[in-house]
Amino acid sequence: MTNTFALIGATIGLGSTAVSDSAVLISDDTIVGICTEDKIPSDFTPLQLNGGTLIAGFVDLQVNGGGGLLFNNDPTVETIKTITQAHARLGTCRTLVTLISADKSTTSKAIQAATQASRQNIPGFLGLHLEGPHLSIEKKGAHSERVLRKMNDEDLQELCDAKKALPYLMITVAPEMVSPEQIACLAEAEIIVSLGHSNASSDQSNQAFQAGAACTTHLFNAMSALNHREPGLPGATLFNDNIYAGIIADGVHVSPAALSLAVRSKKGPGKLFLVTDAMATAGTSEQQFQLDGRTISRSNGRLVLPDGTLAGADIDMLGAMRCLIEDVGVLPEVAARMASSYPSACIGAIENLGSVATGFFANVVHIDDDMQLQQVWLDGKSQL
């Protein structure tokens, strides 16, 4: 039986894009129309909302864990289900489940689990992000040094084969650890190559971009610094209008001032988007978890290793939006796009993800006037 209903009683969109006195028509997993409330078809059941705003469900391209589980610790379909469910309850309706640098066996298990999750159409599962292991030891951050290494032909083949079975595959690599020829092969296989955890110069970064890298992972963090004589990876990213970049807006990983500079200076419209870099604690009250035998603790909005190194972020997408709006001065409608349509565009999914519009998946978030989460519909199904 077809599930048809109309969301009414809330504004659709934020700021200059807002539309009032209108309904979002949903049939099963698709938005089939937007109309004035007096034009709702008789076969659509009205669902009355108490004010607030409807925005597109969030799309997060970097999610390491959630619901108490970390993908690295148990790379299975069940873990993927738990992670996507936890983030759906936080408003994220599509997730690239992310594996932090791991050994070959764990990486292969993660690819197999992601492939199975895709075949089973796990709700909210978008694909796989392999953050490493081809990363710079010098800029390893919380990644375990023992598994970091240069890419070889076997790695390259495994990645290209994996993409054939996955809707979306993103990999984070350092230009120092992969060759331009390898990047070109990966891009040719329709793998989204993102640069990160790298001490690359701007020239090295631009060479990787020219070879086919299309994105930068958590801008500013775990990478060469932006210097007035050597702009490094951040400078190359900001200056190149064809390159996307994810950024963590929690006021911890990147200061509000640096966030503001990034928003204002990034060339290319719609190229800077939000990621949470969420860990096992997302959607829970848990205060500790393990990564590669090391304890990561949660305290004062931070996730840290015993030596104080940041290890992922303690924020959700709506919190990141609030940080941009309240601390940086980003327009609400732009912040919403940075959490939905911009990451969708980065992976080439802009035709059906990231907007409340006819023909798009029925991924809708209802927030109140204080930008607090009220309800989430993932593919037309209520999550709260």
Q: Give, to the nearest 10 degrees, the angle between helix 104-119 and helix 153-164.
A: 10
Max intra-chain CA distance, the chain:
65
CA distance 125 to 115: 11
| CATH superfamily, with its number, for domain 58-346 | Metal-dependent hydrolases (3.20.20.140)
277, 292, 314, 379: the catalytic one is 277
Q: Is the pLDDT of residue 17 over 90?
A: no
Distance CA 350, CA 341 (A): 6
The per-residue pLDDT for range 162-192, each reduced to its tens digit, is 999 999 999 999 999 999 999 999 999 999 9
Indicate if the pLDDT at residue 1 is higher than 80.
no
Q: Assess contact for 271 and 216: CB atoms under 8 A.
A: no
Element (H, E) at 80: helix 77-88
- Across the chain, what does the average pLDDT equal? 97
DSSP string, 243-301: -EEEE--SSSSS-HHHHHHHHHH--STT-EEE---B-TTTTS---EEEETTEEEEEETT
User: What distances in angstroms separate CA 190 from CA 100, 156, 166, 193, 301, one per listed residue?
Assistant: 21, 13, 11, 9, 36
**Is residue 38 among the annotated active site residues?**
no
125-152, pLDDT tens digit by residue? 999 999 999 999 999 999 999 999 999 9
Identify the pLDDT of residue 379: 98
Mean pLDDT of 21-37: 97
pLDDT at 2 over 90: no
pLDDT for the residue 203: 98
On whether the CB atoms of residues 229 and 206 are closer than 8 A, the answer is no
Reported residue count of the chain is 384
CA 201 to chain centre: 25
Which H helix or E strand runs over 65? strand 65-66
What pLDDT score does 39 carry?
96
Residue 315's pLDDT is 98
Q: Which CATH superfamily is domain 4-55+356-382 in?
A: Urease, subunit C, domain 1 (2.30.40.10)
pLDDT per position as a tens digit, 76-110: 999 999 999 999 999 999 999 999 999 999 999 99
pLDDT, tens digit, 9 for 90 and up, residues 324-367: 999 999 999 999 999 999 999 999 999 999 999 999 999 999 99
Q: What is the 3-state secondary structure (H, E, C) of 252-263?
A: CCCCHHHHHHHH
Q: What CA–CA distance (Å, rounded) separates 205 from 215?
A: 11
Q: What percent of the chain has pLDDT over 90?
A: 99
Structure tokens at 12: 């659709």
CA-CA distance, 64 to 287, in Å (whole number)? 16
**Per-residue CA distances from 27 to 92, 209, 217, 361 (Å):** 20, 41, 36, 10
Q: What is the pLDDT of residues 250-259, one digit of tens each?
A: 999 999 999 9
CA-nearest of 254, 191, 186, 250 to 222 is 254
Strand partners, 29: none
* pLDDT category of residue 41 using cuts at 50, 70 and 90: very high
| Cis amide bond preceding 133, omega within 30 | yes
Percentage, residues of the chain above pLDDT 70 = 100
Place 5 in a pLDDT band, splitting at 50, 70 and 90: very high
So where are the chain's domains? 4-55+356-382, 58-346
